[in-house]
Amino acid sequence: MAVPVISVEQMREWEQATWATGKKEGQVIRQVGEILGERIRGLTEPEDRILLVAGKGHNGDDALYCRASLLDRNVSWIRVRNPEQDWKAIAAELESQRPAWIVEGLFGIGLNRPLKAGWDTLIDRLNQTGIPMLSVDVPSGLNADTGEPQPTAIRAAVTLTLGAIKVGMIRPNATPYVGRLEVAPEIGLTPCPCSSRLYWSRADDFEGFPPRREVTSHKGRFGHLGILAGSLGYHGASVLATSGALKAQPGLVTLHPQPDVYQPVAAQMRAAMVRPWKRDDMPSSQYTAYLVGPGLAGENLSEGVREEVERLWKESDAPVVVDASALDWLPQGDIDSNTLRVVTPHPGEAARMLQWSTRSVQANRIDAVKEISRAYGNCWVVLKGHQTVIGQYSRDDERSFINASGNPLLAQGGSGDVLSGLLGGLLAQPFCQAQPEMAMRYGVWLHGATADRLSLECPTFTVEDLLKAI
């Protein structure tokens, strides 16, 4: 299940509810140690040297209990009680043999005031080593509610937080300290009693999705996606979006590029049908879903293209996914149709839709998703970027989801076109239309998870490599 994003107070309530059942803290700490050891093994190789830097509280206990799971690693450890004196021991360890990773558990989520003298210096010194660090639960020095350093914090490469995501860790100002945020939800606590409107999507949320197809299946059962995309100078976006749609395996895909790029686009397509766009050539009854926008830019668009996008948005009974330049053409206000509408802006496009600054969007990503949805007829919003947010404004259910997969290597032209195509290809299929929230979350997760795998296998991967690997 998706993991809730909660406050420190809620986390404490959850822990207290667990201790009330008779479970001991020591049992949870040992389980955390095993989980932590398993994650460190995934980051290192046999015989790698690992330095554990532990504080005097339970966060330090968590770090030290991982030793039993690291018998084939060269592990040394230091329990820090006096930062100035113990730094000398840490420095000696660093000089004797540079570790592959530092695991730090100096302070936990309870830190909510400035660090005492000496601790900030120790943290700065650890940051200056340049050695990748894994933080246990929270980067030491970071306020887990506000995401603010106190006044400095560990700059972790990976933060493995425990039980649930703490709200401060997803704030933009926390990102330089948190690094890659991961969660260990099963640490021995009772089921989480906390309510939340924000959830963290994980790989196991999608077990069994999409469902296995019946042996008697045929293409007529899996929808027909119509794509309006591609113009002079930008025809590659339509090819990438269509290729992404095909990876979702709808029954049929038809691409309608601008007439002046029909030949180069059609020459690159095999499984998709390609027809040069003309007015009134995409009737609402023809397709089970529409994707519009990728590569529709420049000054040579055919007359009526913008009106076609607006018509589909306002009138189509089928789902409509809107990306790229077409986002600027959408009318605000209610939509006559009750069917699915999805927009997939990056932060700059979201800023234009809201008439905000890009900085404001990035500082308030959850609010930006809600405001876009509210302004554009309660549509679904996929706000791309680091920790992509999927959500919709609703008075009855304001849940939003943060995607856990993906990495900075996705920051290259064409990556968003592949994602919009993948989402369109999924939402053309009837079973995904019955579960649109799950389909969108799955498409975003798959896109990012593929990039995560490729970043390990081939750090110089391109968008074409991403397409092949999905």
Looking at 130, 165, 196, the residue that finishes a domain is 196
What CATH number should be reported for the domain holding residue 332?
3.40.1190.20
162: β partners = 184
Q: Which two tokens stand for residue 347?
A: 């932060």
User: Looking at the structure, do residues 176 and 228 belong to the same domain, yes or no?
Assistant: no
How many residues are there in the chain? 470
The pLDDT, as a whole number, for residue 396 is 67
Q: pLDDT tens digit string along 408-451? A: 999 999 999 999 999 999 999 999 999 999 999 999 999 999 99
User: Looking at the structure, do residues 164 and 229 belong to the same domain, yes or no?
Assistant: no
- Of 334, 332, 284, 275, nearest to 312 by C-alpha is 284
Q: Is 212 inside a domain boundary?
A: no
User: Looking at the structure, do residues 28 and 149 belong to the same domain, yes or no?
Assistant: yes
User: Looking at the structure, do residues 7 and 138 belong to the same domain, yes or no?
Assistant: yes
- Of 264, 338, 253, nearest to 295 by C-alpha is 264
Is the pLDDT at 392 greater than 70? The verdict is yes
3-state helix, strand, coil in the chain (%, to 5): 40, 15, 40
Q: pLDDT tens digit string along 132-165? A: 999 999 999 999 999 999 999 999 999 999 999 9
53: β partners = 78, 104
Specify whether the backbone of 163 is left (phi greater than 0), alpha (psi in -120 to 50) or beta: left
Q: Is 201 inside a domain boundary?
A: no
User: Looking at the structure, do residues 284 and 432 belong to the same domain, yes or no?
Assistant: yes
Q: pLDDT tens digit string along 358-389? A: 999 999 999 999 999 999 999 999 999 999 99
Number of Cβ within 10 Å of residue 348's Cβ equals 13
Mean pLDDT over each residue of the chain, to the nearest integer: 95
Number of domains in the chain: 2
CA distance 177 to 381: 27
CA distance 417 to 424: 11
Residue whose token pair is 């099963």:
186
User: Looking at the structure, do residues 260 and 189 belong to the same domain, yes or no?
Assistant: no
380: β partners = 342, 392
User: Looking at the structure, do residues 326 and 446 belong to the same domain, yes or no?
Assistant: yes
The DSSP line for 321-364 is EE-GGGGGGPPPS--S--S-EEE---HHHHHHHHT--HHHHHHT
User: Looking at the structure, do residues 191 and 300 belong to the same domain, yes or no?
Assistant: no
Domain span including residue 180 = 3-196
Q: Is 152 inside a domain boundary?
A: yes
The pLDDT, as a whole number, for residue 363 is 94
Phi, psi of 407 (to 5 degrees): -155, 170
CA distance 248 to 335: 27
Looking at 132, 161, 196, the residue that finishes a domain is 196
Q: Determine how β-strand 165-166 pairs with β-strand 224-228.
A: unpaired
Q: pLDDT tens digit string along 315-354? A: 999 999 999 999 999 999 998 777 899 999 999 999 999 9
Looking at 146, 162, 196, the residue that finishes a domain is 196
Q: Determine how β-strand 180-184 pairs with β-strand 158-162.
A: parallel
User: Looking at the structure, do residues 299 and 441 belong to the same domain, yes or no?
Assistant: yes
Structural Rg of the chain based on CA atoms = 25
Q: What angle do CA 155, 112, 174 make, to 5 degrees?
A: 35
User: Looking at the structure, do residues 267 and 299 belong to the same domain, yes or no?
Assistant: yes
Q: Answer for the pair 86, 80: CB distance below 8 angstroms, yes or no.
A: yes
User: Looking at the structure, do residues 455 and 361 belong to the same domain, yes or no?
Assistant: yes
